[in-house]
Amino acid sequence: MKTERNPEEGEKQQFRTLSGIPVEAVYGDGPAPGEFPYTRGVHADMYRSRLWTMRMFAGFGTAQDTNARFHELLKAGGTGLSTAFDMPTLMGRDSDHEWAIGEVGRAGVAVDSVEDVADLFAGIDLSAVSTSMTINGPAPILLAMYIAVAEEQGVDRSHLSGTLQNDILKEYQAQKEYLFPPRPSVRLVTDVIRFTAAEMPRWNPVSISGYHIREAGSTAAQELAFTLANGFAYVEAAIATGLAVDDFVPRLSFFFNSHLDFFEEVGKFRAARRIWARWMRDRYGATDERSLKLRFHTQTAGVSLTAQQPEVNVARVALQALAGVLGGTQSLHTDSFDEALALPSDDAARIALRTQQVIAHETGVANVVDPLGGSAYVEWMTDELERRAEEVFTHLEDLGSGSLLEGVHAGIESGWFAGEIADAAYRYEREVNAGERIVVGVNAFIEGDDPEARRLLRIGQDTEDLQRKRLDIVRQHRDDEAVAAALAQVVADASDSTTNVVPSLLDAVRVRATLGEIVDALEGVFGTWVEKSVI
């Protein structure tokens, strides 16, 4: 939900404190917000002219179930949609695959074919909304399905705006939702970058995500370093395909976690902007200002939420959201307080959104840009996190003999990233266990937990049966020869690393090849990946 500020209201009272004291847009010396290296923000007046986008993630059950939720969100004034897919979809499997048993429609919406995407966006004008799709391994296929649906609606792909997560590197490091080995997977990422750079000027082809790295247990410094290193790796990979840096970097965006250590988080966001600007300009030779500006989405830390006394999570989420805002985020998702127990219920999701609205409209924090800038502690923290991130970059450069892309590949292949993350996660657990860290309601202040009071959202078995029936119907009503021919073309294009595979994916989804069939075809070319176990 993008929230434009009412200019009239702004003139009247917006930039005064609650007691009426007028406040400036920015305080302090040094490079201002909107100036290189953008430590203080990518815009000069930040939330004064436009608040962050309150983008809430939704997806469950069948496409029709989620479509109903989308319509509610749009009716409530939202202009952005964010889609969560179920596990079988994220893993590129159809709903009738044996792995899908028990998982269809549970953690997100189930998508098997272009028909599901059509139902997902039925009645929604795709030229008017921006859509975020949280998908990685099968990202190029979902993009193709989205384009096909838009075109069947009569909307040209060049008018589509949205974001595909499409960040496969962090999957090997943290979230583990990969389909193929790293190198062909990075090639698919660059295929999407090339395709959207040429044909979809309003589309963000990759959302480089530290969120999942942090959720897997990393520290803030690791989240910062690994995420930016992945960003550098994509930049190098795309340049290697012949793109010029300023042709695609402006459309790269980021996605960070906002965790509990308030000032560390603020420092992390500030350091991220500064590092990106410097590296893009000095190392990769970007000159377009938009290439230098790191734009990011923030989500509060799901891993920090407790199953004990879950209502206390409302306070955690509020503080984390505040850190994201004070760190200058472009969009924000706030977690629901019941997420450590189940999928978010409607009530909990509403409270999460209201939390953002309180921060935006009641606290006054959006009136001044980077209000923590100039604090000795925050500036030191920003510098310190930058220094720690640079150490990681140096290590990866050594691993890759000067190439960040090769360094990241080497770190994935040897299990280095996963090992660093697992070490950090264990260190934290031991500290909590030893009582060196207090987690309210878990190892201290444990009185008052009331398990009886919890109302949880549940997805039934009906969804799974229904989705399988839908899939059967799609398979019955299509031209199987056309599907076979399209899949053969996908295989041929995938086999030639210089060919962009997105156009043949588009042809395949148009004739109703399913997600699982396309993934199987690609797997035949690329193979699969078994991680080196690092425990």
Residues of this chain, 482-521, that bind another protein according to CB under 8 A: none
Beta pairing partners, 440 = 444
Q: What x/- string results for residues 396 through 415 when contact with another protein is judged by CB under 8 A? A: ------------------x-
The H or E element that residue 325 is part of is helix 313-326
The rounded radius of gyration (Å) of the Cα atoms in the chain is: 23
**Of residues 27, 454, 472, 473, which one binds another protein by CB under 8 A?**
454
Query: Which residues, 6 or more positions from 202, have their beta carbon under 8 angstroms from its beta carbon?
Result: 158, 159, 160, 161, 162
Asked if 515 and 92 count as a contact pair (C-beta separation under 8 A), the reply is yes
How many angstroms separate the CA atoms of 306 and 338, rounded? 8
Cβ nearer to another protein, comparing 173 with 330: 173
Tell me which residues in 149-178 interact with another protein (CB under 8 A): 171, 175-177
Residue 439, number of CB atoms within 10 A of its CB? 18
Give Cβ neighbours of residue 499 (< 8 Å, ≥ 6 apart).
493
CA distance 44 to 293: 12
Q: Are 327 and 33 within 8 A, CB to CB?
A: no
Q: Which is nearer to another protein, 276 or 529 (CB)?
A: 529
Query: Minimum distance from CB of 328 to another protein (Å)?
Result: 28
Minimum distance from residue 215 beta carbon to another protein (Å):
7
Under rule CB under 8 A, residue 429 binds another protein:
yes
Query: Least distance (Å) from another protein to the CB of residue 229?
Result: 20
In DSSP terms, which residues pair with 53 in a beta bridge? 331
| Smallest gap from residue 513 Cβ to another protein (A) | 21
Binding mask 61-90 for another protein (x = CB under 8 A): --------------------------xx-x
Asked whether position 335 contacts another protein by CB under 8 A, the answer is no
Contact 333, 298 (CB under 8 A): yes
Choices 49-57, 99-107, 244-252, 358-366; region in contact with another protein by CB under 8 A: 99-107
**DSSP for 391-457?**
HHHHHHHHHTTT-HHHHHHHHHHTTHHHHHHHHHHHHHHHHHHTTSS--BTTTB--TT--GGG----
Q: Which is nearer to another protein, 170 or 512 (by Cβ)?
A: 170
x/- binding map, residues 305-334, to another protein, per CB under 8 A? -xxx--------------------------
| Number of residues lying near another protein (CB under 8 A) | 48
Interacting residues with another protein between 211 and 230 (CB under 8 A): 215-217
Helix (H) or strand (E) holding 254: strand 253-258
User: How distant, in Å, are the alpha carbons of 38, 67, 270 from that of 263?
Assistant: 18, 39, 11
Segment near another protein (CB under 8 A), from 8-16, 61-69, 437-445, 506-514? 437-445
Q: Please identify, using beta-carbon distances, which residue of 241 and 443 lies nearer to another protein.
A: 443
Task: DSSP for 326-373, please give it.
Answer: HTT-SEEEPPPTTTTTSSPPHHHHHHHHHHHHHHHHTS-GGGSSSTTT
Under the binding rule (CB under 8 A), the answer on residue 100 touching another protein is yes
By CB under 8 A, what part of segment 103-122 binds another protein? Answer: 103, 106-107
Which listed residue (390, 443, 489, 510) binds another protein by CB under 8 A? Answer: 443
Length of the chain: 535
Residue ranges in contact with another protein by CB under 8 A: 87-88, 90-91, 93, 99-103, 106-107, 171, 175-177, 215-217, 303, 306-308, 340-343, 414, 421-422, 425-426, 429-430, 432-433, 439, 442-443, 451, 454, 456, 459, 530-533, 535
